[in-house]
Amino acid sequence: MLCGKEKRGIEIEEDDVIRSIRWFKHDILKKPLSNNKVVICNDCYDNYKKYFKKYKSRQRTYIILGVLFAVFGIIVAQNKVLAIITGIVVVGALYLLSFLSYMPELKISQKDKDVKKKGQKQH
């Protein structure tokens, strides 16, 4: 996925974002689905971990900023109902911004996760 080469690797989790992209390509753009599996090759795994960590960090940051803006707006505003609605919109918009750095989760079983953690501790 990161290098763009067709290799074997760890398959990504088919989540709502991936399903939405496939739906958009098939139903809106009318392109035939290839149903390719998206994988992270072993060579790109370290970069993937870095990008995934960055994505999760940005997602948390955007949500926290959105909540802070919403709370501040509610405190300052005279029309509380409008402030709450605006706050929800701001939180939603900032959450959507986090998808600019979207990185899907991997389809790894709990057993594989435990093995990877043990391997990391030995190094």
Please give the residue that has the higher pLDDT: either 121 or 27.
Answer: 27
Structural domains in the chain (count): 1
Percent of the chain with pLDDT over 90: 33
Assigned token pair, 72: 């501040």
Asked, for residue 109, whether it belongs to a domain, the answer is no
Give the pLDDT score at 6: 75
pTM: 0.72
Asked, for residue 123, whether it belongs to a domain, the answer is no
* pLDDT above 90 for 93: yes
Distances in whole angstroms, Cα of residue 123 to Cα of each of 1, 10, 47, 109, 119? 26, 22, 18, 22, 7
Asked, for residue 4, whether it belongs to a domain, the answer is no
* β strands within 31-81, DSSP E: 39-41
Asked, for residue 112, whether it belongs to a domain, the answer is no
Assigned token pair, 119: 């391997």
Asked, for residue 67, whether it belongs to a domain, the answer is yes
Asked, for residue 105, whether it belongs to a domain, the answer is no
Which residue segment(s) compose the domain that 79 sits in? 9-99
Asked whether 17 and 99 are in contact (CB, 8 A), the reply is yes
Assigned token pair, 47: 């970069």
